[in-house]
Amino acid sequence: MERKLLLLGMLRLQEMHGYQINELIDTHLGTSIQLKKPTVYKLLNSMEVDGWITRRDEQEGNYPPRHVYTITPEGESAFQELLRENFSEYRPISYLGDIGIAYLDALPDEEATTLLTRRRKEVSSLLSHLESDHRHGEGFQIMMSFHRCHLSAEVEWLDDIIEQLKTSDE
Partner DNA sequence: AATGACATGTAAAGAGTTACATGATTCA
Partner DNA sequence: TGAATCATGTAACTCTTTACATGTCATT
In sequence order, the β-bridge partners of residue 17 are 68
- Categorise residue 61: left if φ over 0, alpha if ψ from -120 to 50, beta otherwise: left
Q: What share of the chain is helix, strand, coil (3-state, %, to 5)?
A: 70, 10, 20
- Minimum CB distance to its own copies, residue 63 (Å): 30
Interface region with DNA, contact rule CB under 7 A, candidates 54-62, 82-90, 102-110, 143-151 = 54-62
Rounded Cα distance, 55 and 69, in Å: 5
- Give the interface with its own copies as residue ranges (CB under 8 A): 2-3, 5-6, 9, 12, 31-35, 79-80, 83-84, 86-87, 90-107, 115, 118-119, 122-123, 126, 139-140, 142-143, 145-147, 149-154, 156-157, 161
- Give the interface with DNA as residue ranges (CB under 7 A): 1-3, 17-20, 22-23, 34-39, 41-45, 60-68
